[in-house]
Amino acid sequence: MPDEPLVKHIFTADPSAHVFKGKIFVYPSHDRKTDIKDNDNGDQYDMNDYHVLSLESIGGPVTDHGVALKAEDIPWVSKQLWAPDAASKNGKYYLFFPARDKEGIFRIGVAVSSAPEGPFKPEPEPIAGSYSIDPASFVDEDGKAYLYFGGVWGGQLQCWQTGKFVKEAYSTMEAQTGPALLPRVAQLSEDMLSFQGDISELAILDADGTSLRSDDHDRRFFEAAWMHKRNGKYYFSYSTGDTHFLAYATGDSPLGPFTYQGRILDPVQGWTTHHSIVEFQGKWYLFYHDTSLSGKNHLRSVKMREIFYNEDGDQSLVEASVAEASTRRISTSAYFSTPATPPRLKHTLRTNNYHELFNPTNNDKYHRRQPTAKMLIPKADRKKIHEYLFREGVLVAKKDYDAPKHNDIDTKNLYVVKACQSLTSRGYVKTQFSWQYYYYTLTPEGLDYLREWLHLPAEIVPATHIKQQRSHAPPRGMMGGEGERERKPFGGRGGRGGDRDRGDREGGYRRRDAGEGKEGAPSGEFAPSFRGGFGRGRGAPPS
């Protein structure tokens, strides 16, 4: 079951699963093939309708009920029907969905049907006061219904910090310091068509009661909100986005606050993931997606796997894991357990190209049950990576674990990524992200560490450090300069990121462009070169 997509005749993603009328109904987004180049803007995410899937038994046939709603039938929508969700109340079924309005701003709409499979009739306007993406509905045992939503970067959540849409805030993506942006929650009206009361932030706190930080990309909220409840405890789960984890937090109220607990799922193949959790016939299941069927980020497939609870005391999620001989990159199963009795697990994760050990420990910097990933990189290969990083001071690697060789270093691309992840975890390297690449910058602490590791004299420093010593001016590119290489403008085509005029950053999808000026994104064929200037290899402002 974990290795097989629910359906293969269409591409589906962002699954929201619910049990209606004794069946599991899955409400996914519908990826489709396109000739739009795969790029940092997400232009290739060109979804324009929704299908509804259902299954009567686990492992049994899956029914595609066909198109339940089309963009052309929604008066206020311009494009991009992203991750939806559904709810049942008052004998009716409600489909909540995000899309761009005529001004390119994400709003959340609702459509109604008398049947869980649709077709759904949309309301003529989006929900008043709604914004951003990834709506997740939750109807509590007392009949009150809530809608959770929000997504940073391309999801525009950063534009709504004042309560009004601030277009200029889009380019910040998210702050580099301070508290992380938080998901939003609002109670729904009795008819499920509007908000009842104000929209509020949903607090996600550390174990000591402090807010998660914006630079804590392994734990902070990014998108893909989901709420479920078991034995009186509320579980809020979400995606960390650019680090590709599914994380969760627990609380005693649907309105929070929630305390971070750990991970449900480690990175799968493809850019991030989106999930739902549902109980069916006495068991619990996690629905998610990956790109193992297509190998393309914009053509995803929904999958599912069983998750488990440990009944000793209060329930909480722990990441954990199963060692499966698999040709797909699926790294964990989800387990529910008590904080007092974390499992002592040590398993080998097998994928098509590598073995990775997960060793749960109580000494993790952020969370005592979070596993530490270690990889056995041959010393000769590690030395090549360290020598290159020390010499250049900067390094770029493609987000492709299957690439046989790194572009600049004579070793596997996977070794480069894993070595730099290890250095990042110890503060020796600073990591930034884009759609297709990791960007690594050596820190002063890393400089000292690598010099000692390589047994080099103190007077030897990386080329980038020499340049910084010659001038106190910001590196070229930091203030929007073009750098030394030829820059190419990109098209204004709107995809999963939207239309983009010259210098307008609103259209960028889920991009991390800290410190950059009004630059655009590279084309899908762009292979970056990262040579001693902040922002190099990240594209250029439109000319």
Mean pLDDT for 157-171 is: 90
Nearest Cα to Cα of residue 45 among 410, 300, 302: 300
pTM flag (> 0.75): no
CA 386 to chain centre: 29
Q: Are residues 413 and 288 in the same domain?
A: no
Q: Which residues contact 314 (CB under 8 A, 6 or more apart)?
A: 233, 338, 339
Ordered DSSP codes for 500-515: --TT--TT--S---TT
The question of whether 311 is a catalytic residue gets the answer no
Q: What is the CATH number of the domain that holds 296?
A: 2.115.10.20
Q: Are residues 121 and 260 in the same domain?
A: yes
Q: DSSP state, 180?
A: P
The strand pair at 283-290 and 334-337 is best described as: unpaired
The residue from 244, 278, 307 where one domain ends is 307
| pLDDT at 150 exceeding the cut of 90 | yes
pLDDT at 463: 67
CB 329 within 8 A of CB 302: no
Does residue 79 lie in a domain region?
yes
Nearest Cα to Cα of residue 400 among 297, 299, 534: 297
> Which position among 223, 242, 266, 499 bears the catalytic label?
223
Does residue 506 lie in a domain region?
no
Does residue 452 lie in a domain region?
yes
pLDDT at 503: 36
Show the CA angle centred on residue 517, arms to residues 516 and 518, nearest 5°.
125
Q: Reply yes or no: is the peptide bond before residue 119 cis, omega within 30 of 0.
A: yes
Q: Are residues 36 and 133 in the same domain?
A: yes
| pLDDT at 453 exceeding the cut of 80 | yes
| pLDDT at 372 exceeding the cut of 80 | no
Report the distance separating Cα 163 and Cα 182, nearest Å. 13
Q: Residue 376 — pLDDT band, cuts 50, 70, 90?
A: confident
Q: For the chain, how many helices (H) and strands (E)?
A: 4, 29
Q: Are residues 291 and 421 in the same domain?
A: no
Does residue 288 lie in a domain region?
yes
Q: Residue 365 — pLDDT band, cuts 50, 70, 90?
A: very low
pLDDT at 410: 95
Q: Which residues contact 425 (CB under 8 A, 6 or more apart)?
A: 365
pLDDT at 310: 66
The question of whether 14 is a catalytic residue gets the answer yes
The residue from 421, 455, 470 where one domain ends is 470
* Higher-scoring residue by pLDDT: 203, 483: 203
pLDDT at 42: 61
Q: Are residues 262 and 392 in the same domain?
A: no
Which runs of consecutive H residues, i.e. helices, occur in 230-307? none
Q: In what order do the strands lie in the sheet with 394-398?
A: 394-398, 437-442, 429-433
Share of the chain above pLDDT 90, in %: 52
Report the distance separating Cα 308 and Cα 406, nearest Å. 39
Nearest Cα to Cα of residue 327 among 299, 362, 292, 296: 292
Neighbour-count burial of 464, counting CB atoms closer than 10 A to its CB (0-12 exposed, 13-18 middle, 19+ buried)? buried
| pLDDT at 526 exceeding the cut of 60 | no
Instruction: Encode 339-378: b = buried (16+ Cβ within 10 Å), e = exposed.
Output: beebeebebebebeebebebebeeeeeebebbbebeeebe
Mean pLDDT for 388-413 is: 91
Q: Are residues 264 and 401 in the same domain?
A: no
For residue 399, the enclosing domain spans 379-470
Q: Are residues 299 and 386 in the same domain?
A: no
Q: Are residues 301 and 391 in the same domain?
A: no
Does residue 154 lie in a domain region?
yes
Does residue 199 lie in a domain region?
yes
Report the distance separating Cα 421 and Cα 492, nearest Å. 34
Does residue 137 lie in a domain region?
yes
The residue from 413, 441, 470 where one domain ends is 470
Rounded to the nearest 10°, the torsion over CA 501, 506, 512, 517 is: 50
Q: Are residues 256 and 392 in the same domain?
A: no
> Which position among 14, 38, 43, 117 bears the catalytic label?
14
Q: Reply yes or no: is the peptide bond before residue 257 cis, omega within 30 of 0.
A: yes
Q: In sequence order, what are the beta bridge partners of 316?
A: 337
CB 409 within 8 A of CB 302: no
Owner of token pair 């987004």:
29
Count the domains in the chain: 2
Among 2-6, 189-193, 335-339, the minimum mean pLDDT is found in 335-339
| pLDDT at 528 exceeding the cut of 90 | no
pLDDT at 301: 96
| pLDDT at 255 exceeding the cut of 90 | yes
Report the distance separating Cα 513 and Cα 144, nearest Å. 40
Q: Does residue 467 sit in helix, strand or coil?
A: helix
CB 275 within 8 A of CB 290: no
Q: What is the CATH number of the domain that holds 407?
A: 1.10.10.10
Q: Are residues 291 and 404 in the same domain?
A: no
Q: Are residues 298 and 396 in the same domain?
A: no
pLDDT at 263: 87
Does residue 536 lie in a domain region?
no
| pLDDT at 341 exceeding the cut of 50 | no
Report the distance separating Cα 395 and Cα 170, nearest Å. 27
Q: Does residue 418 sit in helix, strand or coil?
A: helix
pLDDT at 375: 54
| pLDDT at 98 exceeding the cut of 60 | yes
- Furthest-apart CA pair in the chain: how many Å? 75
